[in-house]
């Protein structure tokens, strides 16, 4: 197996102000499938083509934002090893093991806070519930898909202060690679890092920002540009708060649209992007071209897109 | 539907806002400026305003941005507040200040913040 260690983003837990409104948004508009509710009142969702039990967990709270993001690793042995490596790195704080089952259908998780202030966790096991099609002689998609119907939870973009520390932890300890970066100012200071643990252009990205532990968006992947356009129609049909799009990113080349859930957490659905093999050189963007880097057609720095976080 | 006059002190803009539209939604629908537009869901806090006179009905908003005490003092997120009388308000968030651009180092609030973060961490 060539893809080892940290495999992919496995789940994200988001805080919502109103669970009923959130269920309508994530279930009917985005089109995720509810798989469970737990004793804490959390609601679990998966995208249709994910086999694991869930990838999005919603928790009703007094604030919006992200509680934590979890990455799936290839085995329990890798989980143990990476936990030791994280401890030894001196880069993480608030480290703890969370027992299996605290999150439904999920094995034990190792949680730690990275230097940008985000709670990140690793886990190796989650019950597979399938994608509503047989594993032998399947169709191409199940019947009765709804809303935007992304195939999977793809990545998050997170904001925090100590970008250097977080990037070092993800690259040197967890084995991520830097697919793209943004540098700014006369010293070419890194202000954004797009990190991959697979062959996607990003599995998680971070932007330098004065406050710790801020959430910019959670992203879900669609099959093609036509589906991004259809997502835009769904956004208007349901009077969802639109941020920007449909358009294309220079960074990652994704075809994209951004919108907000009813609590103000930003979502993205996108398609496209390139294959990022481990030997692909890092792409660098400079702040004077940042408008084009982020929105390739508009070519203007979009302050609201860059500055609005939860 | 009852409609009320909303006056934004920062930009001296005024608009009529229906009682079933939020202060922010009413402004956006008429393409007026003055209150920064963010998530429109009570989560990000950029449309925070201080009600100088008049009254509003507010829905649930993130306590990270408007505490119970602040709400009692007249602070509210414009995306979560519906007018119940004529209203005079002032936008108070950092994005409202950056509309004026007078204190910007780079001309971009985003780049200012990113570079400031580097010097702090």
CATH code, domain carrying B83: 3.10.20.30
Nearest chain B Cα distance for residue A307, angstroms: 6
pLDDT at position B107: 81
* Distance separating alpha carbons of residues A156 and A143, to the nearest angstrom: 28
N-to-C CA span, chain A = 38
B46 within a domain of the structure (yes/no): yes
- The dihedral through the CA atoms of A33, A105, A19, B70 has a sign that is negative
- In the predicted model, is pLDDT for residue A134 greater than 70? yes
Closest by Cβ to A306, choosing from B43, B110, B115: B110
A184 CB neighbours in chain B (<8 A) are 111, 114-115
Continuous segment of H or E residues that includes residue A228: helix A225-237
Which of A14, A15, A16, A17 to substitute to test the interface with B, most B CBs within 10 Å?
A: A17
Q: In whole angstroms, give the CA distance from residue A209 to residue A163.
A: 8
H or E element: which one contains B64? Answer: none
- Residue among B96, B108, B111 at smallest CA distance from B13: B96
Structural domain range at position B26: 3-96
Residue B120 confidence (pLDDT): 62
Angstroms from B113 CA to nearest CA on chain A: 6
Task: Tell me how far apart the alpha carbons of residues A241 and B39 are, in angstroms, rounded to a whole number.
Answer: 7
In a domain, B82, yes or no: yes
Q: Which of B43, B106, B110 sits opposite A307 (nearest CB)?
A: B110
Do residue A310 and residue B109 have CB atoms under 8 angstroms apart?
no
- Total domains in the fold of chain B: 1
Give residues 173 to 192 of A whose Cβ lies within 8 Å of B.
184-185, 189, 191
Q: Which domains does chain A have, with CATH numbers?
A: 6-123 (3.10.180.10), 154-307 (3.10.180.10)
User: Quick count: other Cβ atoms within 10 Å of Cβ A138?
Assistant: 12
Q: Which two tokens stand for residue A253?
A: 């080349």
Alpha carbons A95 and A120: distance in angstroms, whole number: 10
Q: Residue B63: list chain A partners with CB under 8 A.
A: 62-63
Indicate which residues of A carry an active-site annotation.
155, 202, 217, 249, 258, 268
Question: What pLDDT, on a 0 to 100 scale, did the predictor assign at position A125?
Answer: 98
CB contact under 8 A, B62 and A241: no
B 34-73 → A contacts, CB under 8 A: 36-44, 46, 60-64
Neighbours of B49 (CB within 10 A): 30
pLDDT (tens digit per residue) in A141-179: 999 999 999 999 999 999 999 999 999 999 999 999 999
CA proximity to A38, closest of A74, A13, A18: A13
Average pLDDT over every residue of B91-97:
71
- Please indicate, yes or no, if residue B66 is contained in any of the structural domains: yes
| Average pLDDT over all residues of chain B | 90
Residue linked to tokens 């539907």: B1
Q: Answer yes or no: are the C-beta atoms of B42 and B60 closer than 8 Å.
A: yes
Q: Note whether A58 and A43 are within 8 A (CB).
A: yes
Q: What is the mean pLDDT of residues B94-113?
A: 70
- Per-residue pLDDT band at B116 (split at 50, 70, 90): confident
Beta strand pairing call for A56-60 and A6-16 = parallel
B-chain residues within 8 Å CB-CB of A287?
106, 111
* Structural domain includes residue B103: no
Give the pLDDT score at A158: 98
| DSSP assigned state of A287 | G
Q: Is A94 exposed, middle or buried (0-12, 13-18, 19+ CB in 10 A)?
A: exposed
* Nearest residue to A199 via CA among A125, A273, A93: A273
Within 13 Å and on the Cβ side, how many CA atoms surround A306? 22
DSSP B79: G
The reply to whether B116 falls in a domain is: no
The pTM for the full model equals 0.95
The ipTM, to two decimals, is 0.91
> Between chains, do B42 and A17 touch, taking CB under 8 Å as contact?
yes
């Amino acid at each position: 197996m060539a893809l080892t260690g940290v495999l992919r983003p496995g789940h994200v837990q988001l805080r919502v102000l109103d669970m009923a409104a959130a269920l309508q948004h994530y279930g009917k508009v985005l089109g995720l499938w509810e798989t469970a509710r737990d004793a804490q009142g959390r609601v679990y969702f998966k995208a249709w083509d994910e086999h694991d039990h869930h990838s999005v967990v919603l928790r009703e709270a007094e604030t919006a934002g992200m509680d934590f993001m979890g990455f799936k690793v290839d085995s329990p042995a890798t989980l143990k090893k990476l936990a030791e490596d994280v401890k030894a790195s001196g880069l993480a704080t608030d480290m703890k093991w969370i027992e299996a089952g605290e999150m439904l259908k999920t094995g034990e998780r190792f949680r730690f806070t990275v230097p940008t202030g985000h709670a990140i966790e690793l886990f190796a096991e989650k019950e597979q519930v399938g994608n509503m099609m047989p594993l032998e002689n399947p169709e191409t998609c199940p019947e009765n898909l709804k809303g935007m119907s992304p195939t999977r939870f793809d990545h998050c973009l997170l904001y925090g202060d100590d970008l250097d520390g977080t990037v070092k932890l993800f690259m040197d300890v967890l084995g991520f690679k830097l697919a793209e970066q943004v540098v700014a100012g006369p010293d070419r200071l890194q202000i954004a890092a797009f990190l991959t643990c697979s062959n996607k252009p990003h599995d998680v990205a971070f932007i330098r920002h004065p406050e710790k532990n801020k959430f910019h968006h959670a992203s879900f992947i669609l099959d093609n540009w036509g589906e991004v356009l259809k997502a835009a129609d769904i956004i208007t049909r349901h009077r969802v708060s639109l941020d920007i799009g449909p358009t294309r990113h220079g960074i990652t080349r994704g075809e994209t649209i951004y919108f907000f859930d009813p609590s103000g957490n930003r979502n993205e659905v996108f398609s496209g992007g390139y294959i990022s093999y481990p030997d692909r050189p890092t792409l660098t963007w400079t702040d004077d071209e940042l408008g084009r880097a982020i929105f390739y057609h508009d070519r203007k720095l979009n302050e609201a897109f860059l500055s609005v976080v939860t | 539907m009852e409609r009320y006059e909303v006056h934004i002190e920062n930009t001296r803009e005024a608009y009529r806002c229906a009682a079933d539209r939020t202060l922010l939604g009413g402004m956006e629908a008429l393409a007026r400026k003055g209150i920064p537009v963010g998530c429109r869901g009570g989560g990000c806090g950029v449309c925070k305003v201080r009600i100088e006179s008049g009254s509003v009905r507010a829905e649930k908003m993130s306590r990270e941005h408007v505490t119970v005490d602040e709400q009692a003092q007249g602070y509210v997120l414009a995306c979560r507040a519906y007018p119940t009388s004529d209203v005079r308000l002032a936008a108070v968030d950092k994005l409202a200040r950056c509309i004026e651009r007078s204190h910007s180092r780079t001309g971009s609030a985003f780049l200012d913040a990113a570079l400031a973060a580097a010097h702090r961490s």
